[in-house]
Amino acid sequence: MRPACRPKLSIILTRINAVLNSNMKIKFVCSVLLVLFTTVALQAAPKRLLMVTTTTGFRHSSIPTAEKILAQLAESSGEFTVDFVHQPPGKPAGLGKDATDAQKDDYAAAEAKWVVSLQDALQKLSPASLANYDGVVFASTTGDLPIPDKEGFLNWIKAGHAFIGIHAASDTFHNWPGYIDMLGGEFKHHGRQVSVDCLNQDPQNPATAGLPKVWTIQQEEIYQFINYDPAKVHDLLILDKHPETGDPGHYGVSWCKNYGDGRVFYTSLGHREDIWDADPGMPDRKNSPEIAKAYQAHILGGIEWALGLKK
């Protein structure tokens, strides 16, 4: 009996081994597929940005261009989607010096009504709503904005989210030291529009990787800051000459910084429509389409850095 049994036992063992092997192979293939699908899913899932362009102070005419270009960058990169907090309609125009009491009353009523619409629009910045986003962009916002939970907003950035500030984002919340501290600088003033040579301080950073060592902009409004300390930020673009007087010095133009576990990117450039938009047919173009394309790469790289998509 024994000699006859041995081959059968051997066959059974080989079959068990084969089944085990095939199970292991299936498990291995499944694991590889899982990793592959997860990687693809992570790569494919775009980040979610919220772009805020509301203003209670000066309102830049370039805001619609900024919104259009950011939407185009979202679409062309495929790296992020963008949702908006637009300016609600109905903000009353300023009162004349000789306004009557009745006109003043009408103005106050219209302003109060509009502020309610603004508060409603800014509900997208509540902690509950921010759970739907990876980053927030303030583009040429101005003044004090009635956002629902100021400390909650800063804590949300600190928790590992992105804040991207463009141009007048530094002319916003002058009365909120926590915001200025997060941003790394506060708008003080600007002179007439000039041509400047921006010195690229970090050709490795995605925001400045596409820019030359000296990036000459043909015409732009250049900001001066208070509460800006180069030791507290990572400079990306600076000037070594004052844009109005030519005095030598260190003048911040764009920088980035960590904020808790979050990341902040700021560029003071972005006043003019033709620095945003590369359309060669734009009337009264002062900046070449190449400057606008370089600026778009600067913005896109800053967003990628702040969202942690690129280092």
Q: Which residues bind Zn ion (CB under 5 A)?
A: 221, 271
> Rounded distance, CA 44 to CA 264, Å?
24
Output the smallest distance, CB 219 to Zn ion, in A. 12
Q: Which two tokens mark 116?
A: 């309610």
Backbone angles phi, psi at 87, to 5 degrees: -65, 125
Residue 21 vs 195, nearer CB to Zn ion: 195
CB 254 within 8 A of CB 301: no
Residue 170 vs 205, nearer CB to Zn ion: 170
> Rounded distance, CA 264 to CA 273, Å?
24
Residue 57 vs 212, nearer CB to Zn ion: 57
CB 181 within 8 A of CB 276: no
Residue 119 vs 193, nearer CB to Zn ion: 193
What string of H, E and C letters represents the secondary structure of 255-311?
EEEEECCEEEEEECCCCCHHHHCCCCCCCCCCCCHHHHHHHHHHHHHHHHHHCCCCC
Output the smallest distance, CB 185 to Zn ion, in A. 15
Four-CA torsion 237, 242, 246, 249, nearest 10 degrees: -80
Output the smallest distance, CB 168 to Zn ion, in A. 6
Output the smallest distance, CB 242 to Zn ion, in A. 18
Please report which helix (H) or strand (E) contains residue 138, including its range: strand 135-139
Residue 221 vs 274, nearer CB to Zn ion: 221
> Rounded distance, CA 263 to CA 234, Å?
11
Output the smallest distance, CB 73 to Zn ion, in A. 20
Residue 257 vs 271, nearer CB to Zn ion: 271
Nearest residue to Zn ion, scored by beta-carbon proximity: 271
**Distance in Å from the first CA to the final CA of the chain:** 72
Output the smallest distance, CB 237 to Zn ion, in A. 16
Q: Which two tokens mark 138?
A: 């303030």
Q: Which residues of 253-285 are buried (b: 16+ CB within 10 A; e: fewer)?
A: bbbbbebeebbbbbbbbbbbbbbbbbeeebeeb
Residue 28 vs 58, nearer CB to Zn ion: 58
Residue 47 vs 271, nearer CB to Zn ion: 271
Output the smallest distance, CB 295 to Zn ion, in A. 14
∠ CA 122-299-46, nearest 5°, is 70
Output the smallest distance, CB 254 to Zn ion, in A. 15
